[in-house]
Amino acid sequence: MPRDGSGIYTTPPGTTAVPDTTIESAKYNANVADVAADLNAARPIVAGGTGATSAKAARTALGAEAMFVTVTNYDTHPWEAGSFISSPGATGSPEGPGAATGYWIGTAISDSAATVIGLEAINYSDPNKTRWERYKSGGTWTSWVAVKGGTFVGQIIAAPSSGTIAASATATGGLQIIGAGTAGDAAYYSFHRPGSYAANFGLDTDNAFKVGGASMGANAYRVLHEGLADPKVIEPLHVTSPSHARVYLEKSGSGQVNAINSYTGPSSNPANTRWSAQFGDSAVEGGGNTGSNFALIRFSDAGAPLGGAFDINRATGLATFYNHLTVTSGGHTYVKVNAAPGLASVVGGFKNSVGRWDLALGNQTAESGGNAGSDFELNRFSDAGAYLGNAMTIVRASGAASFGGSITCAALLSTSYVQALGSVISQGASATFSLKNASAVALVDIFPNSDHLYIRNYAAGSADFLITSGGQAILAKGFSGRNGTAGANDGNVHNFRWTGTLLEAWVGSTYVGAVTLTCDYRYKDNVADLSSTWDAVKALRPITYTAKATPQPSPPELLRREGEPEAKPAPTMDTNLEQWGFIAHELQETLTESAATGTKDAPDLIQSPNWMPIVAALTKALQEAMARIEALEAAASVPVR
């Protein structure tokens, strides 16, 4: 058809007839065919047509919208721009999955290819006339969203925001929550978990972000953020994390303080300050990990600093307490001091930061097995903090204690005795163990001298008791006697002296005689007549001898009392005087073991004869001799026949 580019129809050339001439059939037929084709084709809009062969295509060509199109399935309907309606039973309505129960009307917005579609719908029976929206892009539908009143379901897509929060001088966000407009109205959301919990969140009337109300009661709690000039936490603050939980304090430079302060009353009033925990104090960082130390500061009732409670040096880890440290526990209470091997675990005492005492709960002595090493040690220091020496050491392996000076006991462990477990070591040639009364007046000294042990009574002014290195005990005067274990002391001084042949007994300065042997029958058991000693007595070896030059021991000079003359050596026995007697071990070999004391060549023992067995043997032998003599005499008196 000869139409131009604008759709204008023009008859074919030669179609117009000339009067009084013959009409050519070919031209006539061509014109008729052309008209028939034009009448059956989509008539252009410029020619009064729609330019389309269908209603939808005509609406598209004319830019018209569909009107009240019936929808039975919102997910698969061939949408085009215009209004729509759906009856109960339609699938995919704003009511959610399943068939709709109400009538819905709405408007569809779509491009010509229906690749981008937007739907808006309301329910006839909804008194709030909530408007619902849904979009399709890239072949995927979004969920229905309520955009006016009622209950929102699904995702809310707000208008896009531009710029940054800090750069926006006005409220230009894509989604806005607006108060009613008076000074007493806040702008807030309400969050509600039906049957469980509800709360409001938003911008309160003091222009602070808060959360509260509903299930949280008539409270509005501020949300902490960097912009708060005076951040507060009314209730306990819990910080939880699936891994490490942290609270960060950040200062912009060295010399500033990172602190958590506690208050009694509003924190806006400095007088309410009570404590400040400084996680990095104002000490300037100078390299080598110095500065920004930990400190705990106390404040008065008026909020004035009282001084530090304790601090910890960041570089060294050294903790300093500024008052007493009390450790309590419901069970055993420990203060643990832990040091690396070869180093001491020390508790130190200082005066004005200058050392006075070190208590090593495990000194630097290396541990070498068998519980050796890491011993207890107490050390002294001078006024200038210089080491003065060791005051006391206790060996961990043995429990042996040694002291670097004199030991003064204010009282005994008991009113009647001192119980010692282990050894007491006093070092030095003149080391003395003193017992004093409540007035610190010395009563008794125990001290060594020339490898001997002395006990000195201060009331007497001299040593009263000596134990020699050989184990010999020497009394300054003697010992007191009494009548049996239950009797009272008689006040006299008793002594014994061995002359070499006799054991002399002395009371005071009076010689009362030699010690005799007990022979009472009440002290004897298994009594029987002695068998023949004839051969034994014949075997005895009586001897003559002179004594070896053996001086008798004299009292040590330390046992001499004040006013007494200087002690003189006791006279030796006369070595030229002939003695009669026996050899002690020969008596034991010939008669019986009890005929002498000890054994031959026994160390630290001089044998002595026991005269009772000797007299008994001699008496028995004499009786036997007398019996024989009497028998011989009787035989001699019989007449010879």
Give the rounded distance of the alpha carbon of 226 from its chain centre: 35
H or E segment and range at residue 192: strand 187-193
pLDDT value at residue 210? 92
Collect all residues with Cβ–Cβ distance below 8 Å to 115 and sequence separation of at least 6: 137, 138, 139
Closest CA to 609 of 597, 625, 621: 597
pLDDT value at residue 628? 93
The answer to whether 280 and 255 have CB atoms below 8 angstroms apart is: no
Dihedral over Cα of 499, 503, 507, 512: its sign:
negative
The answer to whether 306 and 300 have CB atoms below 8 angstroms apart is: yes
C-alpha distances (whole Å) from 67 to each of 70, 121, 209, 421 are 9, 14, 48, 113
pLDDT value at residue 4? 63
pLDDT value at residue 241? 84
User: Is 60's pLDDT higher than 60?
Assistant: yes
The answer to whether 199 and 211 have CB atoms below 8 angstroms apart is: yes
pLDDT value at residue 485? 79
H or E segment and range at residue 34: helix 25-40
Ranking 130-134, 312-316, 556-560 by mean pLDDT, the lowest is 556-560
Nearest-angstrom CA–CA distance, 14 and 2: 13
Give the rounded distance of the alpha carbon of 9 from its chain centre: 103
pTM over 0.75: no
The answer to whether 554 and 535 have CB atoms below 8 angstroms apart is: no
Closest CA to 433 of 452, 409, 417: 409
Higher-confidence residue of 585 and 480: namely 585
User: Is 641's pLDDT higher than 70?
Assistant: no
pLDDT value at residue 7? 65
Q: How confident is the model at residue 371 (pLDDT cuts 50, 70, 90)?
A: very high
The answer to whether 396 and 371 have CB atoms below 8 angstroms apart is: yes
The answer to whether 69 and 78 have CB atoms below 8 angstroms apart is: no
Q: What percent of the chain has pLDDT over 90?
A: 31
Highest mean pLDDT among 30-39, 202-211, 285-294: 285-294
Collect all residues with Cβ–Cβ distance below 8 Å to 287 and sequence separation of at least 6: none
Residue 140, exposed/middle/buried by CB under 10 A (0-12, 13-18, 19+)?
exposed
Q: What percent of the chain has pLDDT over 70?
A: 82
pLDDT value at residue 535? 94
What is the rounded average pLDDT of the residues 226-249? 78
Higher-confidence residue of 196 and 573: namely 196
140-193: pLDDT as tens digits = 888 888 776 556 666 666 666 777 887 767 777 777 777 766 778 898 989 989
User: Is 387's pLDDT higher than 50?
Assistant: yes
Q: Where are the domains of the chain?
A: 65-148, 195-229, 253-323, 342-389
Q: What stretches of 119-159 show up as alpha helix (H) in DSSP?
A: none
H or E segment and range at residue 611: helix 611-636
Concatenated DSSP letters for 398-452?
A: T--EEESS----SS-SSSS-----S-EEE-STT--EEEE-TT--EEEEEEEETTE
178-192 as b/e: b if 16+ CB within 10 A: eeeeeeeebebeeee
Highest mean pLDDT among 60-74, 212-226, 274-288: 274-288
pLDDT value at residue 417? 37
How far apart are the two ends of the chain, measured CA to CA in Å?
Answer: 214
Which pair of tokens denotes residue 514?
């030699």
pLDDT value at residue 423? 41
User: Is 413's pLDDT higher than 50?
Assistant: no
User: Residue for token digits 């490490």?
Assistant: 244
